[in-house]
Amino acid sequence: MGRIFGTDGVRGLANRDLTAELALDLSVAAAHVLGEAGAFADSRPTAVVARDPRASGEFLEAAIVAGLASAGVDVHLLGVVPTPGAAYLTAELDADMGVMISASHNAMPDNGIKFLARGGHKLDDAVEVAIEQRLREPWDRPTGIGVGRVGDSHVGVDAYVKHLVGTVPGPLTGLKVVLDCANGAAYHVGPAAFRRLGAEVVAIHDEPDGLNINEACGSTHLDDLQAAVVRHGADAGFAFDGDADRCLAVDASGQVVDGDQILAVLALARLERGLLHADTVVATVMSNLGFVQAMEAAGITVLQTAVGDRYVLEAMRAGGFTLGGEQSGHVIMADHATTGDGVLTALHLAARMSETGRTLADLAGVMRRLPQVLVNVPDVDKGRVDADPVLQGELVAANGALEGRGRILLRPSGTEPLVRVMVEAPTLEEATSVAEHLAGVVRRTLG
């Protein structure tokens, strides 16, 4: 069947690419692979299942639960919970595995399935390959008392909110914030956590109906948040995506504070407290050169990985590092979470404002963003990016013309049939010119 898992689980158009049948088969195969690998510790296995609010999550949840229970796994339903909440509760409830049903920032018609191992960690690539290989194989089905039981968890959201609040070093009294919940999984969790810490909260896009998730709102559409922050005279605004594993921010004047800037602020705060392991922060190759320069100036090493929070996580776990993230707003604080957590990130950014008395704009000013242009080139053979001699020759020439004043990255998308052309340069005009030229080369050579 080819690869089913992408860089962030299984994702596709719900009921077309991602069907109930596939969801059921995946859950059965996952239970078999994890069980035979010893993940269930020879005891009756348990799983937690959570989802974001999109409508298709309802039938996919039913299919996943049916698959797990038929494989002898007891299932605890968490309902609508952010991805990091599902990861936290997988560990907190001592479950053998977790499942999150979400397509993150994608539009409502899409959906996805992420499997979590014991402790709330994403599965290794090798485990995902093994699950794919075991799809629809014949198997001995348990009967009688051997089938799994299904019930609602009575811990869920409140336990996760309590955890979030407990990670923050001090109150947020006196801060006024706007939260764009993307009509997604953070619609209750985000406002609840901020209010418990004493912040004044204006919540927008916090009324999910199953159809409006990510619709012109959230971390991929910041216009409403920018306007609301200025209109309400707020100190800052924070935008989550559909499953709330990422966060972008807006300062009091409505200016965007991206993931690189957020990561820089948190890295310096942790360095100050002696909580930044090996004085190192993990980022990806998409991080702005200005971020790298700012961290180096502060004596912080930047370890860069391939794009994708799973690769950031792998590097963090391998080196014992405590902080990492992506420009898109995935920020991982390893001493509090096993994955990116948008609400956690927003809380700690707000806490830094509160404890220092500095504005978000002032804090974010620690780094100067080089103008960055990203061009997506669709419908090309992304597998030949590194092999096409004409394209590689043009790339060498373009890098030479920048003479170390910027950088270029050509990256095949992990989830779509396109190539991303990213260029950073001292001016927007130069970055745009180089990016458009290389995008044209990609179209001609790979189209």
Q: Which strands, in side-by-side order, build the sheet including 176-180?
A: 200-204, 176-180, 236-240, 247-251, 256-257
CB burial of 390-417 (b: ≥16 within 10 Å; e: otherwise) equals ebeebbeebeeebeeebbbbbbbbebee
Whole-angstrom Cα distance, residue 254 to residue 234?
A: 10
Q: Classify the C-alpha dihedral 338-339-344-348 as positive or negative.
A: positive
Helices (H) and strands (E) in the chain, counts: 14, 19
The first and second tokens of residue 239, run together, are: 């935008």
H/E stretch holding 63:
helix 56-70
Sign of CA dihedral 361, 362, 363, 366: positive
C-alpha closest to that of 148 among 80, 9, 49: 49
| SS3 at position 388 | coil
Q: Which residues are part of the catalytic machinery? A: 104
Report the distance separating Cα 314 and Cα 282, nearest Å: 10
Task: List the beta bridge partners of residue 349.
Answer: none
Report the alpha-carbon distance of residue 50 to residue 85 in Å, rounded: 9
Cα–Cα nearest to 162, from 189, 183, 182: 189
Task: Answer for the pair 278, 296: CB distance below 8 angstroms, yes or no.
Answer: no
3-state secondary structure of 19: coil
Report the chain's C-alpha Rg in angstroms: 22
Best CA proximity match to 254, nearest among 235, 273, 267: 235
Q: What residues form DSSP beta bridges with 409?
A: 422
**Nearest CA-CA partner of 99 in 114, 117, 82:** 114
